[in-house]
Structure 1
């Protein structure tokens, strides 16, 4: 029997400077009957000292002896969780105060086949190019600021395969712990796209509800490395190749959004020749796609200047 209704898992690596914001957002929840499990993935900063300043019986700290990656850290938290439900929070994100209260009430009100819930989110991006991009989105597109809000089960999988399901990563998720156990947690071989991979397997087990409020704020600081994106994407596309063929047979192009993502990733890392190859393949781009590409190009130029 679960000791608490909700277990909160924060995986963290070298985030001593920002993790207090995440921890505080959990401790300030209006729903207070939870445990908070912080899993340190062998950090080399003073993370343990920072976490040790919290004198709250609901907070526990676990440290890996070696760095094993975010998915492994989440799985360690899952293994130590006693809650009926598990909520995940990335160490650089934060929750609004009613996040757990709203999602717990939503799932408890649904039939048993509803095994998860997610919610809306805000994004706070760093840098002038990201600010310009957001302003352009607000001016040019009426849907700016709105988020994907579909509910359901396996019918959502094509959206995830096409990178259209803006779920907001693990920080928005609230999941039945028995469902997580059935799918054996996160795939530890995935460096990127692990949230999508997790969701696809989860949606084969049951349905996911949506709480129509922005209850998470995502903070973006670092761009993922080119190598991790390519590796994660190759593994993701290979793992779900059968599902992709089935969806594409119905006339939906799964490859385009992934090619677009690679185009932007190469540009962001200053590899403009490889980015241009994808640009030629995808052209013509839509206006929103041009804005995203220009933001990535500006970041790539900045990266090149820094290395001079």
Structure 2
């Protein structure tokens, strides 16, 4: 099968270089690559020529419209029966396309996705962030786990759709603020099956500092409410957990003055949460430094998402495109 890889990029030439280098290492090579430069000032047009002899690659520059609509632009140029979207901060393991090919031969689903993992070259902070973004203690098992919560919704850092889906369902209707969730929900509601291909994972670099991570997760919290404006039934009890986690933590000082034993019990719950994440990360990463940082990233993840969720919840009900 022939695949089209769509990579929207905005001011990330170094990331694109690393991503393209990983694509040259694929064991299955029947794919094209479309780089969609979304109005960047720091362009990657000087990176692409390095790979023209190694990949079937095409570079496009367009005015800035956001990542969702840039992916649509790429879909319109694609020549295959399956379109695959990667974020520019991903590194693709050499077996990725072979894993996808092997799965789709027997399971021709409408949309699919894969997990994300931390590469051995990542910094300790990046590994800690990767842990928090994939741990069942912080995500409830909804992000790329085999036993995930509910129907699997592919996320566009690592997502594939059939050409038929694009032609019948359309592409992204919103360009940011939960655009991939809205797209996945629309695909599922149209009757298409989705699949998690466990072996089709990517190494996702994500953010490199707690402050950047906070901003990203704050945005994710807002995005869940924005998606709920399109599909109210998709804001479930599980998605409220970070907000409740945040409100509970903020209420501890007040609770101390009202009834301090209850505040002490509450504090104990939060300390237990940190200890569990430390132990889980240590078992996974075999690094005390990463495990310590994982406590900070897990706490940051839930509070940042919770604050964003609550702030967007009280805003006027307007759909952000």
TM-score computed with the length of structure 1 as normaliser:
0.68
Equivalent residue for 1:253, pick from 208, 233, 237: 237
C-alpha contact (below 8 Å) 1:12/1:41 kept by paired residues: yes
**Does residue 174 of the first structure (1) align with residue 160 of the second (2)?**
yes
**Per-residue deviation, 1:255:** 4.5
Output aligned runs, 1:82-161, within 5 Å.
82-110=79-107, 114-123=109-118, 147-150=144-147, 156=151
The structure with more helix, counted as a fraction of residues: 2
Please list the CA deviations of residues 77-109 of structure 1 after superposition, one character each: whole Å capped at 9, or x if unmatched: 011111111111111101111111111221121
Aligned mates of 1:209, 1:128 — CA distance in 2: 31
Q: Number of paired residues?
A: 259
Distance 1:258 1:75 in 2: 32
User: Which residue among 57, 76, 81 is the counterpart of 2:73?
Assistant: 76
Tell me the SS of whatever aligns to 1:43. coil
Unaligned runs of 5+ in 2: 253-262, 278-294, 305-321
Q: Residues 92-132 of structure 1: CA distance to partner in whole angstroms, max 9, x if unpaired?
A: 1011111111112211212x5x2223223203597656656
CA separation of 1:231 and 1:191: change in aligned 2, threshold 3 A: farther
What is the distance in 2 between the residues matched to 1:236 and 1:144? 19
The secondary structure found in structure 2 opposite 1:201 is: helix
CA RMSD, Structure 1 to Structure 2 (Å):
4.1
- The whole-number CA distance in structure 2 between the counterparts of 1:54 and 1:25 is 11
Distance 2:129 2:93 in 1: 25
> Structure 1 residues 16 and 133, CA, compared in 2 at 3 Å: closer, same or farther?
closer
Contact 2:99-2:199 within 8 A present in 1 as well: no
Contact 1:118–1:174 (CA<8 Å) still a contact in 2? yes
Distance in 2 (alpha carbons) for counterparts of 1:16 and 1:134 = 22
Distance 2:36 2:133 in 1: 36
1:238 lines up with 2:229 in the alignment: yes
